[in-house]
Amino acid sequence: MSKPIALSTLLAPWVDISAHEFHDMAISNLELDSRKITEGTTFVAIKGHAVDGRRFIESAINRGANAVIAQSCERHPQGVCSTESRVPVIYIDQLDRNLSALASRLYTLGDMKLVGVTGTNGKTTITQIIAQWLNLVGKRAAVLGTAGNGFLDALQPAVNTTGSAIEIQQTLLSIESQGADFTAMEISSHGLVQGRVKTLPFAAGVFTNLSRDHLDYHGTMEEYELAKRSLFTEHQCGKAIINVDDQVGAKWAEQLPDAIQVSLQPLSSTNAVFASQVDYSESGISLAFSGCFGDGQFSVPLIGEFNANNVLVAFTTLLALGIDKQQLIETAKQLTPVIGRMELFHNEGKAKVVVDYAHTPDALEKALMALRVHCHGKLWAIFGCGGDRDTGKRPMMAEIGERLADHVVLADDNPRSESPSAIVDDMLTGMRNPERAIIEHDRFKALQYALANSEVHDIILLAGKGHEDYQVLANETVHYSDRESAQQLLELN
């Protein structure tokens, strides 16, 4: 819980209200959603991307708001202070852009170190590996991201990868009050562009990779790249850790001379950590490393080349933060796969099923290539594409599935308001032999089909949903889990 702060002190960087009778009102909690206002909460009314919160000022006051901080407009310019039903309403310019600064004045963090991880793929895996590893060496660590917020053994569901500026600060303060030494955060391109983490002091910033995603929002890959890069150029970022096996990362490393480069290939840079040898087996990955933190080797029970990269990035980040190298090496074998990220389900006598969150062309390609190394039979791919999202990636994903898997089953992802058949038709245009693809819109039945027609040494990749336990349809969101489907059909319950 935050310590109360006087309204005039909270708003001092933007407006002087010291002459008003309500200047010393105690503010202890901020809320963007008028429906969540309770007695004594302060309502923050911004002009959002979809909803104008200023329309709900009266509703918030009726629910017990003690004050309203609102985004200015022509009718109510910067600095105007009025009252509605004896509740002060203060108007501030560009309040939407100043939310992070506003929230940080109330929800003040102490010594907890923050690690920000951005990139198209790998954010959840890297943040959770960082938190796991810190816990294993005796620190207390939490995460914020797609799979949930909080400590790993008690994650709370997250609506967005990166919440609102106010939600982030509230959550971080709550986590710190529970004893966290570190929090590893996934940072989305939306969150960066919208300034949701603008005033957070990151002890380290991490870049994973960049591939096609969110073009429905950013418009071009150039804008998407600029959004990601801003973590290192326009935010408070102590150490910068860059995956230079990614083409964009390699370019950024030249522009960010202080960044620590990470690669699975030998590097000549003196400010780098790289793999001198990587071995893959069914039991996991063995990795020997060299670079600016010295040499060593360790093994982890994860599968796939991109997980070798994820682990090395996480390892380098922790070394950069001053965590003891030998402790990290000794505890590496205790790391566990992240839920819904290349998660293996297996029962003797049946094909292996791997559930992964891959929902971009790059992620699907990496997942299939990683599994090919481990597959001694046929490789199956079950996946779909989301509705009301970037349509350009649909044929690309189908092309990748056809090229890298032996059998492709096209199923629904989150169709939302689009016709599932139309989505599949878009995907089929990317295939040379579309008639060979199996179309089964029901994901459970798709996996059922694959298991019924596969051999014991086959591997079935069930991609797109990962940890999610829901499916978004046209008029409703229903309960559905790939992980539960795998457990049920493999009779692991």
Annotated binding site: 32, 34, 119-125, 160-162, 188, 194, 196, 389, 413-416, 464, 468
Adjacency order of strands within the sheet including 30-31: 30-31, 42-45, 67-71, 87-92, 81-84
94 CA to centre of own chain? 26
Distance CA 440, CA 443 (A): 7
The bridge status of strand 67-71 relative to strand 87-92 is parallel
What angle is formed at CA 186 by the lines to CA 477 and CA 92, rounded to 5 degrees? 85
Q: Which helix (H) or strand (E) holds 167?
A: helix 165-177
The bridge status of strand 352-356 relative to strand 459-463 is parallel
Distance CA 253, CA 478 (A): 43
Which among 248, 310, 280, 447 has a CA at the least distance from the CA of 375?
Answer: 280
The structure tokens 């992620």 sit at: 363
| Residue 104: both structure tokens together | 């940080």
Continuous H helices in 323-459: 325-331, 361-374, 393-404, 420-428, 443-452
The structure tokens 């003891």 sit at: 324
- What's at 457, amino acid-wise? H
Do residues 178 and 110 make contact, with C-beta atoms less than 8 angstroms apart? Answer: no
Query: Binding site for ATP: which residues?
Result: 119-125
CA-to-CA separations, 82 to 31, 67, 68, 483, in angstroms, rounded: 20, 10, 10, 54
Q: 274 φ, ψ to 5°?
A: -140, 160
Residue-by-residue DSSP string for 62-130: HTT-SEEEEE--SSS-TT-EEEETTEEEEEETTTTTTHHHHHHHHS---S-EEEEEESSSSHHHHHHHH
Q: What is the DSSP letter of 35?
A: G
